[in-house]
Amino acid sequence: MFTGIVEELGEIVAVEQLPNAARLTVRGPLVTSDAKHGDSIAVNGVCLTVVETGDGTFTVDVVDETLQRSSLDKIHEGDVVNLERAMAAGQRLGGHIVQGHVDGVGLLLEHNDGGLTRFAVPASLSRYLVQKGSVTVDGISLTVVDVTDDSFSVALIPTTLELTTMGRRQPGDRVNIEVDVLAKYVERLATPHLAALAAHHEEVR
């Protein structure tokens, strides 16, 4: 589990293509200071398992399922990425509960003069977004300002722009989106009951 509060800007130092997977080596002195084999580190919001560590670097294997669902399929050597270690029990939760299980890829549409940044998302994801709710973009915990059927906006504070990749993003860039898992659970649990209720109404009409 993560909080969506980015700890460090890392750098992709190597990308190795494997059968149905990719192996990434990432430089991140802070997140590797106590990392060991089997630990979880979020890279641009994607929860990945450390397979080995080096001098300020760690290596992870990214399976085909993750490559298909996230922007890591287009990652290159030299790219800057957001890094966050899994949260420790007992610490303050500065963002919101994040799983690191990316739901899909969005597109940065614009940074406007009012301080808002808008992203395009598929309708299959926008239905889980609500005004003032939480969303994770490239591993960054953000608050939704407004939402439409195919987009949403957030207000980015200067600290977020300075300490994460968001300050480097340009219109047209792809970003990883993780919606609030609680919304997905509610939908899953409520759908059968709503369908039964609709069927009952049809019977009594």
Asked whether the beta carbons of 144 and 117 are under 8 A apart, the reply is no
Q: For the chain, list the domains and their CATH numbers.
A: 8-85 (2.40.30.20), 104-180 (2.40.30.20)
- 182-195 CB burial, b ≥16 within 10 A, e <16: eeeeeeeeeeeeee
pLDDT above 90 covers what percent of the chain?
Answer: 74
Q: What is the DSSP letter of 178?
A: E
- Alpha helix locations (H) across the chain? 64-69, 123-126, 158-163, 181-204
Q: What is the pTM of this model?
A: 0.87
Q: Residue 205: pLDDT band by 50, 70, 90 thresholds?
A: low
The pLDDT, as a whole number, for residue 112 is: 82
